Chain A
Amino acid sequence: MDQEDLVGRLMADMDADLLHFLQTKANSFVKWDLLRFFHENPHTTDTAANIARYAGRAVETTEAGLIDLAREGVLSTTRLGEMTVYSLSNNPEIRNLLQRFVKASDDRDFRVKAVFHVIRSMR
């Protein structure tokens, strides 16, 4: 079985919405962590530097992830003076999808497939 077949088999039984979410939003481990962080702390409003501190990651990688997630509409950005602050989007569809994704990733089988996909997309 070549790798394309394996990928196809791994993704075939995944919910289409969740697969799309994984491919476009949770497509790096940093972004996955950030998504989980915002799911668990849904009313966080802060700068990239402070969110990096909460997440225990470097500012540069965190900021890049936050910018991507904002571009994808998962996060909202607000300018406060010279600061750019990030918060979870109020869009109920996004919030619902995030909740489904986090819940699904509690399942080991889903997680294995998702991790495989993230690693593959990072190559």
Chain B
Amino acid sequence: MGKETELERVKTGIPGLDDILCGGLLRQTAVLVEGAPGTGKTTFGMQFIHHGIVACNEPGIILTFEQFPSQYYRDAANFGWDFRRLEEEGKLRIIMTSPEVSRALVEETGGQIERLTRQMGARRILVDSLSHFERLADSPVQFRQMIYGFINGLKREGLTAVLTRESYALLGEIEGQDESIPFVVDNYILLRYVEMDSTLHKALLVLKMRGSDHDKSIRRFTITSKGMEVLSRFEGQEGILSGSPRRMAESFIEAFVRRQGEGR
């Protein structure tokens, strides 16, 4: 890991996460943050953008396809982040648009994204959410190519990108979702609900980080009045990503009893 820390890292500003990422994301890469509604994908992205502006002097852009900018102002204010002021200061731009237009804006020479990136000196972008691109593609192959081209356009502009994506299942495995996107992004972070002792917890796992090592443990995370915070790993549990984990001792006993039964 010693050599990897020499690479330029982009701090997410999410307490606990940068340690898992061995110092942060690699510059000019794209991270896919996937999770069910309410898990904190947008909060993740807003915190990444806010931290970039206030702590790293890296202006940011938010491309939103569904949520109104006024909602971002309000949600950010709940965490004490003044997005309106940052926009007035020219350090942030929240653009409401659609996937088809944003794709054209990125691809176009001298287009809005290129112009804004240069004018503002933007270094970070949040795309919320990639799920809306799905309706533009006729096939998974076309969808993958479209996302690949879009991400490369963002990288060309020197942006480090957080791309959110909705997963349809609240708990457990997700079925019927296009699985090609994790292949075209550099980093892949899963946010999951986990039911334990009749209480919903939230889990975060870094599944992929191209060009860098990372912590593979499944971590608890919480969202407080200050934003997202990644906590300790889940101890003594297994099957976390199934959504309803079991204590390891229980599953050991279950497996042991089953084997005994099979042996009879």
Chain A residues at the B interface, C-beta cutoff of 8 Å: 40-47, 50, 54, 80-81, 83, 85
Contact = CB atoms under 8 A, between A and B. Distances in A.
B94 interface: yes
Contacts of B70: 40-41
Q: 4 closest pairs, A vs B, by CB? A: A80-B104, A44-B96, A50-B98, A43-B95
B171 interface: no
Contact of B69 (A41, A80, A83): A41
B105 interface: yes
B168 interface: no
Given A80-B104, A80-B105, A44 B95 contact: yes
B131 to A, nearest CB: 16
B96 A81 contact: no
Nearest to B69: A41
Nearest to A85: B101
15 contacts: A40-B68, A40-B69, A41-B68, A41-B69, A42-B69, A43-B87, A43-B93, A44-B97, A45-B95, A45-B97, A45-B105, A47-B100, A47-B101, A50-B97, A83-B104
B112 interface: yes
A38 to B, nearest CB: 10
Chain A facing B: main interface SS: mixed
A40 B67 CA distance: 13
A22 B104 CA distance: 34
Interface centre among B68, B70, B101, B111 (most CB of A within 10 A): B101
B213 interface: no
B4 interface: no
Contact of A47 (B94, B98, B112): B98
Nearest to A80: B104
Interface residues of B, number: 17
B101 A45 contact: yes
A41 B101 contact: no
B108 interface: yes
A3 B167 CA distance: 59
B104 A81 contact: yes
Contacts of B98: 46-47, 50
Contacts of B96: 41, 43-46, 54
A45 B93 CA distance: 12
Contacts of B101: 45-47, 50, 80, 83, 85
A81 B107 CA distance: 11
B133 to A, nearest CB: 14
Given A47-B101, A50-B101, 11 more contacts: A40-B68, A40-B70, A42-B69, A43-B69, A43-B95, A44-B95, A45-B96, A45-B101, A47-B98, A80-B108, A83-B101
A43 B94 contact: yes
A50 B96 CA distance: 10
A40 B98 CA distance: 17
B243 to A, nearest CB: 33
A80 B106 CA distance: 11
A50 B103 CA distance: 15
